[in-house]
């Protein structure tokens, strides 16, 4: 094992800024929903919409970056060691066992992470963004008779927000399950993490 730079400066910026904006969207969204009162409805709506557009812009750029740099390969699902990783998080982690997956420069994420990120990007994010944009442009389609679908769309958006909150809580918990509670957090701050020295190993 050796320390190597595996998270580039852009990835760290993308991850950190995305995290802050998701927190802002969750906080403003729950205030819009009436879960609590702090800024007021109008300001919460303004913050929610501005943050959503900034995050959409960031994700479009991140998508371009992943496609043009080949980093998308790190998110391709694989069954290699999938059962080992699932068993580790269900049983092994509570027995103090070592994580069965060893990160490689060409495979940053373990197979369970890949599935989680794929589900996030292919299911949860389209649900949130689709319902959010539909709701945001309500004025354009309110006269078409489709306004009866508004409660359903609002419900889907709220359900997506709760699922995102569950993902965030799980994500934060898993960042504390490294060799030390801060190992994974340090990796996303510095970009450096332990990888296998054998760069020629293939799945």
pLDDT of residue 201: 52
Domains in the chain: ranges and CATH: 2-195 (1.20.950.20)
Question: Cα separation of 125 and 71, whole Å?
Answer: 19
Cα gap 8→13, rounded to integer Å? 9
Q: What is the distance between the alpha carbons of residues 88 and 178, in angstroms, rounded to a whole number?
A: 12
- Secondary structure element (H or E) that encloses residue 179, with its range: none
3-state secondary structure of 136: helix
4-40: pLDDT as tens digits: 999 999 999 999 999 999 999 999 999 999 999 999 9
pLDDT tens readout for residues 191-202: 999 888 765 554
What's the pLDDT tens digit per position in 60-104?
999 999 999 999 999 999 999 999 999 999 999 999 999 999 888
Report the C-alpha gap between 82 and 66 in whole angstroms: 24
Q: Is 164 left (phi over 0), alpha (psi -120 to 50) or beta?
A: alpha
Sign of the four-CA dihedral 59, 63, 68, 71? positive
Q: Whole-angstrom Cα distance, residue 74 to residue 105?
A: 10
Q: Which of 176, 182, 167, 175 is nearest to 23 (CA)?
A: 167
Say what the pLDDT of residue 200 is.
54
- The DSSP symbol for 97 reads P
Collapse the DSSP code of 195 into the 3-class scheme (helix H, G, I; strand E, B; otherwise coil) and give the result: strand
Q: What is the Cα–Cα distance from 63 to 130, expressed in whole angstroms?
A: 17
What letter would DSSP give residue 175? T
For residue range 124-157, what is the model confidence (pLDDT) as tens digits?
A: 999 999 999 988 888 787 777 777 788 899 999 9
Cβ contacts of 75 within 8 Å, gap of 6 or more: 66, 109, 114, 117, 118, 121
Distance (Å, whole) CA 193 – CA 104:
10
């Amino acid at each position: 094992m050796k320390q190597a730079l595996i998270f580039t400066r852009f990835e760290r910026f993308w991850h950190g800024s995305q995290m802050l904006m998701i927190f802002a969207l969750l906080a403003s969204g729950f205030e819009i929903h009436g879960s609590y009162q702090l800024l007021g409805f109008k300001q919460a709506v303004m913050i929610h919409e501005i943050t959503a557009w900034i995050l959409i812009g960031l994700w479009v750029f991140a998508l371009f970056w992943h496609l043009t740099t080949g980093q998308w390969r790190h998110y391709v699902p694989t069954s290699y060691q999938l059962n080992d990783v699932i068993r580790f998080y269900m049983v092994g982690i509570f027995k103090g066992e070592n994580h069965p997956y060893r990160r490689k420069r060409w495979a940053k994420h373990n197979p369970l992470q890949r599935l989680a990120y794929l589900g996030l990007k292919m299911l949860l994010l389209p649900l949130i963004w689709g319902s959010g944009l539909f709701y945001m442009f309500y004025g354009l389609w309110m006269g078409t008779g489709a306004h009866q679908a508004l409660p359903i769309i609002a419900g889907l958006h709220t359900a997506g927000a709760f699922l995102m909150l569950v993902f965030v809580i799980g994500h934060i918990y898993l960042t504390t399950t490294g060799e030390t509670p801060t190992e994974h957090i340090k990796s996303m701050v510095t970009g450096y993490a332990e990888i296998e020295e054998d760069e020629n190993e293939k799945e």
